[in-house]
């Protein structure tokens, strides 16, 4: 979650955003804190530079859609290979901070799958099972380490650049009728990847 854009900001706020533990020792010169705003070396920095800073690799607004019992966001450019139409939308699909030129192909939930929730990245080169730790959809946090399946390959319904990687979390991990989604088209969620 990004730091606030106005009002009082504390070193503790900045430290926690950078991945530190609340109320532990930190300084504006710590490399993880400087990294939030891209300050290298000993270039001067100040509190006002941290407004809006985020440790997220990716952030977008997902507007929920649905098709044939599937919920969330799904976009493919190779025809109706998944048995359902495109649904939902994202304010940004650019996931280049995770992998160069990567795009989000889908963030999808289905009770029809024992999989439950699926997340796909599409890129022009092979994608490793690394580079990020948590996919957050609203208040639901999905750990990459807890994904019950990881696929990496060169073809998929949402694959348009040559390579894809898909992570899956089972319904037993997430639970609920719609997983992290509401079951109502048009509901919005903040999606972040850290």
- DSSP one-letter string for 19-79: TPPTTS---TTSHHHHHHTT--TT----GGGGTT----SEEEEEE-EEETTEEEEE--SS-
pLDDT at position 80 is 43
Low-confidence ranges of the chain (pLDDT < 50): 78-81
pLDDT at position 85 is 80
pLDDT at position 89 is 95
Smallest Cα–Cα separation from 32: which of 51, 50, 58? 50
Parse the chain into domains and list their residue ranges: 11-50, 58-193
Other C-beta atoms closer than 10 Å to the C-beta of 62 total 22
pLDDT at position 73 is 94
Residue 46 in tokens? 């100040």
pLDDT at position 162 is 78
Other C-beta atoms closer than 10 Å to the C-beta of 139 total 8
How far apart CA 137 and CA 167 sit, in angstroms, is 14
CB 99 within 8 A of CB 130: no
pLDDT in tens, 102-134: 999 899 998 766 678 999 988 888 888 888 888
Instruction: Looking at 129-191, list the stretches that DSSP marks H as alpha helix, in order from N- to C-terminal side.
Output: 171-174
pLDDT at position 137 is 95
pLDDT at position 66 is 93
pLDDT at position 127 is 87
Q: 24: buried, middle or exposed (CB in 10 Å: 19+, 13-18, 0-12)?
A: exposed
């Amino acid at each position: 979650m990004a730091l606030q854009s106005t009002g009082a900001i504390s070193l503790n706020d900045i430290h926690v955003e950078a991945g530190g533990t609340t109320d532990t020792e930190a300084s504006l010169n710590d490399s993880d804190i400087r990294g939030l705003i891209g300050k290298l070396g000993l270039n001067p920095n100040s509190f006002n530079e941290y407004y809006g800073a985020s440790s997220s690799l990716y952030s977008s607004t997902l507007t929920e859609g649905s098709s044939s019992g599937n919920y969330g966001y799904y976009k493919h450019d190779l025809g109706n290979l998944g048995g359902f139409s495109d649904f939902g939308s994202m304010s940004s699909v650019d996931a280049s901070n995770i992998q160069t030129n990567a795009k989000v192909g889908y963030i999808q939930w289905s009770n029809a799958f024992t999989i439950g929730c699926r997340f796909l990245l599409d890129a022009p080169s092979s994608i490793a099972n690394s580079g990020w730790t948590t996919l957050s959809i609203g208040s639901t946090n999905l750990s990459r380490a807890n994904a019950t399946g990881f696929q990496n390959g060169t073809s998929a319904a949402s694959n348009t650049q040559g390579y894809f990687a898909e992570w899956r979390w089972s319904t037993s991990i997430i639970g609920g009728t719609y997983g992290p989604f509401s079951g109502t088209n048009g509901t919005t969620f903040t999606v972040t990847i850290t």
